[in-house]
Structures are given as structure tokens and as C-alpha cells.
Amino acid sequence: MNSANPTLLLPDVMSKVAALGPASLAAVHQFLVRLELAQLTEEIQDEAETLREAGKLEPDLIEAAIREHRKNHPYAV
């Protein structure tokens, strides 16, 4: 198996997943959900740092954006 080549790795992984029982499949699914969450968290943190460095996360800008959103989308009572 060549783990450096995703094209060759994918069929091997897929065949192993297809052979799993229900409990193992659930564990793999949970692992993939956690992996996806970790990746998305990292992307959000990277983007937030970029915005912070650009001065777009200043408290006054955030408050103005919240006020504008609330003005355009008032809470229903």
C-alpha cells in the first residue's frame, strides 16, 4: 500500500470500511466527524487571525455589524 498516494489509498480504505460491522462503522463515523470538526476549527481560527490582522475584528466594527443585523432582522415577539 502506498500511503503517499491518495489515489491508491482510497480503494483500500473504502474496502476496509465496507467490511466493517455496525459498531466499528459507528466508531469510524464518529472519528470522521471529529476529524472534520478539527479541520473546520482550524480553518475558522486561521480566518479569524487573518481578519484580526487586517483590523476587521475590532470591537466597534463587531458592534456596528450586530446593530446593522438587528436593524435588518428585528426579533419577533
Residue-wise pLDDT tens digits, 10-38: 999 999 999 999 999 999 999 999 999 99
Confidence class of residue 3 from pLDDT cuts 50, 70 and 90? low
pTM given for the model: 0.66
Question: Rounded to whole angstroms, how far apart are CA atoms 69 and 77?
Answer: 17
Instruction: Rounding to the nearest 10 degrees, give the CA dihedral for residues 14, 18, 19, 20.
Output: 100
